[in-house]
Structure 1
């Protein structure tokens, strides 16, 4: 019996022919493993490229009409909160302000005169009462002496007329006192109606003068400037806008089939097309909108037609960003973002059920307007009220 031993060359050729098959099988196994891993990862995450940076666009408007004389900022300029932006011609407002100051000073002095007149009439009433008392005593004495003939009837008649005149004078003075008291009764100099009206007019004039200087309500970057020097503007017309670049967020539009596992408070990783992929922003879901984007469009789609075609809807999801990351890599409104949400923790709420306890956004540029106006009113009244103070209640 003869045994044939394969040559070394044949063995090498056989191994070489099996190598591509092994590599193919290995590649298939790796691909299946990668798909399984990707599927498992996808179960705990949702992502979308339909996401954009959003933020506040704060309009700068005037509260009074006037002609623009100066503009202190232009597009792309940074502006601080409460910084002057636009100046209006203040000549008319200054004249009204000076007139209001004079009217308040005059009202205070006239009110003081009314209080003095009341005090004067009080003294006159007391004097008239004394005249009546004296005339009544004179008449009584003369009537006692009439029987003895010491006093003539003519003198008694004359004394009676004096008493009547004294009583009439007392009545007239009391009526005059009532008229004067009607203007000042139960008031003080600072609560006198004429003083209050003049003080209100002065506040209006001061605030109108103050508002000829238009200030920035927030800190940010100026954009959309439309105002020009020499332009006659009206209240409420947008002159420019200020974008607070440190107050931006991301609106990510997820498909309706992706929102099942989205919860408020879930962590988010974001990348901006404006930066390299190494720049990663971190955020948190703070809310899901109350409807899809098409539901709140200007002309919502009407699907009650015979040729209906289903279109996948998207729900806006608001994502808050970390302020320190925004400061390091500033974002502009409208930039595209790639969003990936970690949905492994699904214990958070789906919708917000509590309202804000404090104002979400606010400005303090109008905070001291009334206080400053009250200081001006106080200064004018103090300069014209004199050293003596009118009593609060004047009674007979």
Structure 2
């Protein structure tokens, strides 16, 4: 039997030692890393989503963008047909002219009545003077009759003249009272006409404002998704037409286990690795930690008081700001998954 060479004799032992040393080194490295870092792969890139909503109903006249186009703030996106709304505005403006005429007529009636009242007052003053003179004449003639200086007929004539003038005075007083009583009526008619005029002006302003809503502009800059509007389609007010994904800011929401939150602090540095671009590493820092778990913030939070309680490790949302995210706008997309590793402060 030939003797084994030293290499064949000791090679397995050397390999075993190398494997054990490498395993121990890797294990120690992972242990040390775990003591100084908290990791999670339950994380997504977030940004603001701005809905594009019309403020008036109507048929779509034109659509200026296509699916997934980049848009700038105040860029025209959709235009709504306004022919019917313009005809309605013309009708309102015609009603406004009529209402202005009603106001002018009401003012003219009041001015005419005021002239009548002044005329009645002047006539009443003249009637008072004539009545008083006739009273004096009647009293004088009555005395002369007693002295037999004039005939009874002459005295009766002056007395009758006085009575006629007194009756005319009473009629003048009635006419003046009647004229003055019409003044509040005409004034209320004027106020009603003025109120109607104001309402019609407001309606015209509302219609003009409504016409300004016919053009739908982008409320923010970004990229739209799939649009939900086509030319000729009838749309309602507040109907979602498309959504703009703002490209002005991005952040990460990482859902850490409740057992990890104890070591996390605002300002901790985080390493971010997108699943779509694993070779690219981004940097971030913790901006805030949610006050409630994700389950409590859901539409139907679990009710542990129901008696059907199963303890499940909860997740706490943590907001992480992406440092210098402008340099990575070409790869950042809302909703992308990523792995997050937070370096703990001592």
Paired residues, number: 328
Check conservation: 1:81, 1:218, Cα contact below 8 A. Answer: yes
Change (3 A) 1:228 1:329: closer
Give the aligned partner of residue 280 of structure 1.
282
Q: CA deviation at 1:26?
A: 7.8
Give the aligned partner of residue 203 of structure 1.
205
Check conservation: 2:272, 2:340, Cα contact below 8 A. Answer: yes
- Aligned residue for 1:148, secondary structure, equals helix
C-alpha distance in structure 2 between counterparts of 1:162 and 1:24, whole Å = 141
Give the aligned partner of residue 176 of structure 2.
170
Change (3 A) 1:160 1:127: same
Spell out the pairing of 1:159-308 with structure 2 (5 A cutoff). 159-183=165-189, 192-288=194-290, 290-293=292-295, 296=298, 298=300, 300=302
So what's the TM-score if we normalise by structure 1?
0.71
Change (3 A) 1:297 1:43: farther
Check conservation: 2:247, 2:329, Cα contact below 8 A. Answer: no
The one-character-per-residue Cα deviations of 1:358-379 (angstroms, maximum 9, x if unpaired) are xxxxxxxxxxxxxxxxxxxxxx
Give the aligned partner of residue 85 of structure 1.
77
Spell out the pairing of 1:43-58 with structure 2 (5 A cutoff). 43-58=35-50
Check conservation: 2:44, 2:338, Cα contact below 8 A. Answer: yes
C-alpha distance in structure 2 between counterparts of 1:148 and 1:270, whole Å = 123
Q: CA deviation at 1:336?
A: 1.3
C-alpha distance in structure 2 between counterparts of 1:246 and 1:110, whole Å = 56
Give the aligned partner of residue 377 of structure 1.
none
C-alpha distance in structure 2 between counterparts of 1:162 and 1:204, whole Å = 57
Change (3 A) 1:289 1:299: closer
Could you list the runs of 5+ residues in structure 2 that have no partner in the other structure?
A: 1-5, 142-153
Check conservation: 2:295, 2:302, Cα contact below 8 A. Answer: no
C-alpha distance in structure 2 between counterparts of 1:222 and 1:328, whole Å = 16
Give the aligned partner of residue 315 of structure 1.
316
- Aligned residue for 2:256, secondary structure, equals strand
2:61 pairs with 39, 64, 69, which one? 69
Change (3 A) 1:303 1:135: closer
Could you list the runs of 5+ residues in structure 1 that have no partner in the other structure?
A: 1-12, 346-396
Identify the structure with the greater helix proportion.
Answer: 2
C-alpha distance in structure 1 between counterparts of 2:290 and 2:140, whole Å = 113
- Aligned residue for 1:280, secondary structure, equals strand
Q: CA deviation at 1:117?
A: 3.4
Spell out the pairing of 1:99-118 with structure 2 (5 A cutoff). 99-118=91-110
C-alpha distance in structure 2 between counterparts of 1:193 and 1:290, whole Å = 55
Spell out the pairing of 1:6-21 with structure 2 (5 A cutoff). none
Bigger Cα displacement from structure 2, 334-343 vs 96-105: 96-105
